[in-house]
Structure 1
Amino acid sequence: MKKIVALLGILTLTVSCKTAGTVSSNDSLKNTFKNKFYIGTAMSLPQIYGTDVKSVEIIKKQFSSIVAENCMKSMFLQPEEGKFFFDDADKFVAFGEKNKMFIIGHTLIWHSQLPKWFFVDKEGKDVSAEVLKQRMKNHITTVVSRYKGRVKGYDVVNEAIMEDGSYRKSKFYEILGEEFIPLAFQYAQEADPNAELYYNDYNEWFPEKVKTVTKIVKNLKSRGIRIDGVGMQTHVGLDTPKLTEYEKAIVNYAAAGVKVNVTEMEISALPSPWGTSANVSDKVEYEAKMNPYTAGLPENVKTEWENRYLDFFRLFLKHQDKIRRVTLWGTTDAQSWKNDFPVKGRTDYPLLFDRNDQTKPVVGKIIQLTKEK
């Protein structure tokens, strides 16, 4: 009897450990979600070139989709007018093809990380609407045509709408008005009719922002211009946004006739001076109180952080019919931009793999969610 009791105890412990997040050698996020949605990550240059060996192995095992963290942004692809630099992007696309991944181009039109020449003439004055249209068309056509049939989807326009639903007063908007968005999608569609085309932004659960983005989707569709998805950047914290707000946005965008891409996801465990903004120009000076966990997360905070991830993935599974892709904004904590945003020099823990390239227990728990009835 004692042997039986002991055996039952071992079995119970084994099951409990499995439920708690132990990942077997055969388990992976890629295999777990393959019939639900793509699971992706953003790749840095050291990963693209294979010098960050351990994280590359994680990417190949765990993810079915990749997006370039920086090398496909316009300032890197076309630093001077008419002079394109494709070495890094070519390497990135080749990696994705070799590993049979769903490749995302990020991003074609964005007000930030844009070369200075894009909006000005030789005298430094704003170019005309016609000149800007031609520059947009040339950039989009050159990039999308180069990777036609290889890059499967593009963030065509990035971060054009403010939280109050108004248009960001970028140079694109100042020179072309609202029409710069349909033009960008039109040029991308013409360059590769089979590539998926997305609008991508942060805080897309704010009610007024939802209304404007939905209006853009419907406008494009009414004009016969393709838009396949809305990318919901998911730079979130432990408290914001509320899951109910996030869920309403998913349902709303799906009702407008597009898929939802969960993009740029990470969950910061650190305090933020302003919630979950991802505006790269928003930075604050370092303060020690904003960097409280340099030696690691306390157990209570770690538990809260894990539960937050699990809540989001439960939501993704609930709406898997509406979701095309879930992409993490990086692979390991060491890679994350959140170490330097919005406060430079902090120690954050926002991703699924730690600074030593080890799988965090939450990965096993996420996998286990798919086995729950």
Structure 2
Amino acid sequence: MTNFPLPAVALMGAALLVTGVAQPASAHSSQPAPLRALADRADVRIGTAVNMTALADDTTYRRTTAREFSSVTAENVMKWESVEPQRGTYDWSKADALVRFARDHGQAVRGHTLLWHSQLPGWLTTGVADGSIDAAELRGILHDHITTEVKHFKGKIYQWDVVNEVFNDDGTLRNSIWLQQLGPSYIADAFRWAHAADPKAKLFLNDYNVEGINAKSTAYYELAGRLRAEGVPVQGFGIQGHLGIQYGFPGDVSDNLARFAGLGMQTAFTEVDVRMVLPVDAEKLATQATYFRGLLDACLGSRSCTSFTVWGYTDKYSWVPGVFTGQGAATLMDEDFVTKPAYGALREGLAAGR
């Protein structure tokens, strides 16, 4: 969930902007159709990452999450450190709560994430570091983790981010504990194990800085092609979409989607937000709207793109200020749940359809 400067290209025209008076998302009968209704007509799921503490404690957040989105992703509570904090001891309570919420509100669930180099439990990283967990045992642990988690949610997850952030920006494999201990075959293993545990879930690669055609996205394209040729069930490519308006909008987004579609894969935007250097002003919000709309238009322009997920929708609970000093305002709504031009831009794009 990080982002680095992207190659500069010309910004999209001002015609994409949506103007008008912003209204709180919690307004009642006078409010226009929510995003999910427009997305349904456009044959795409519109999703959000969900902060489970906010979902439990904030009535406005809970109501807005249910109203606006047809898909939800666990922001943190399906990650390894959350579900297996102690070896062999699983805690599904918060993840199960999200699945129940989704069921009660007619929402699909994206699983995030089975295999990552970050947010691993301390017992695992310490064991690898001190040598008490060797390569053979680590492979068994990984198999058991993926199998146990996917089986637990079998039939309840429509897309899984199976392997997350395995390449560097230059297209080389990330030097994670997985690569160091298991070699590159761990990627294929993870997909095979996940598919065996739930054959109906769509299985995705997922990363940041892969919106356009560059060394990193090309590495994924080549990897996916090789694995699929070997019969490995790599079925989707997830583009996170963490952008910043201080960098140019990524080029060749539609062409990038098209080449993965050419492999017979689904695509999805999985973690979209668009941050800015604070303070906020009208010009920055207008630019932000063009970035959100540009990614959405690319998705709607590709039949392979099945979902468009924002990484949180209100600045009240955004991860950005805690990671990028002096930056923020990255979501569709401010801290009071008042919609921004970016929310209107998505409404307009979804209403236009495919």
Q: Mark yes or no: TM-score above 0.5.
A: yes
Residue-by-residue CA offset, 1:171-209 (whole Å, 9 max, x unaligned)? 100011110100111110011111111111111135221
Structure 2 unpaired stretches of 5+ = 1-16, 24-29
Structure-2 change in CA distance of 1:236 and 1:191 (3 Å)? same
Which residue identity lines up with residue 164 of structure 2 in the other structure?
Answer: N
How much has 1:122 moved relative to structure 2?
A: 9.0
Q: 2:31 — aligned with what?
A: 25
Answer 1 or 2: higher relative contact order, Cα 8 Å, separation at least 6.
Answer: 2
Tell me which residue corresponds to 1:186: 192
Identity of aligned residues (%): 28
Match of 1:269, SS state, is: strand
Q: TM-score, normalization: structure 1?
A: 0.82
Task: Give 1:92 shift.
Answer: 1.1
Provide the TM-score with structure 2 as the length reference. Answer: 0.86
What one-letter code is carried by the residue in structure 1 that aligns with 2:264?
G
Distance 1:119 1:145, change over 3 A: same
Q: Could you say what the CA RMSD is over the residues aligned between the two structures, in angstroms?
A: 2.2
Deviations 1:89-118 (A, max 9, x none): 111111111112110111111010001322
- Tell me the amino acid that sits aligned with residue 58 of structure 1: T
Task: Identify which of 211, 216, 223 aligns with 1:216.
Answer: 223
The alignment status of 1:268 with 2:275, answered yes or no, reads yes
Aligned to 2:10: none
Give the one of 147, 151, 156 matched to 1:150: 156
Which residue number corresponds to residue 3 of structure 2?
A: none
Q: Deviating runs (4+, > 6 A) in structure 1?
A: none
Match of 1:341 among 323, 329, 335: 323
Indicate how the Cα distance of structure 1 residues 44 and 136 shifts in structure 2: closer, same or farther if over 3 A, else same: same
In the alignment, is the contact (CA less than 8 A) between 1:332 and 1:353 conserved in 2? yes
Q: Which amino acid aligns with 1:199?
A: L
Query: What secondary structure does 1:157 align onto?
Result: strand
Give 1:127 deviation, angstroms.
3.0
CA distance in 2, matches of 1:54, 1:26: 17
CA spacing shift, 1:307–1:207, aligned 2, 3 Å: closer
Aligned length: 328
Q: Secondary structure at the match of 1:30?
A: helix
Q: CA deviation at 1:371?
A: 4.4
Q: In the alignment, residue 132 of structure 1 is paired with which amino acid?
A: L
Q: State the alpha-carbon separation in 2 of the partners of residues 186 and 32 from structure 1.
A: 35
**1:314-354 Cα deviation digits (max 9, x unpaired):** 333222x12111100002011111111222xx462111111
**2:331 equivalent among 326, 331, 351:** 351
CA deviations over 1:290-333 (Å, ceiling 9, x no partner): xx41xxx22222222223323333333222x1211110000201
Instruction: Give CA deviations for 1:146-171 in whole Å, capped at 9, x if unaligned.
Output: 11101222111110111111000001
Q: Deviations for 1:262-284, whole angstroms, at most 9, x for unmatched residues?
A: 011001122xxxxxxxxxxxxxx
* Cα pair 2:246 2:276 within 8 Å, conserved: no
Aligned position for 1:314: 297
Letter of the aligned partner of 1:356 in structure 2?
A: D
Report how far residue 21 of structure 1 moved.
Answer: 4.9
Aligned equivalent of 1:288: none
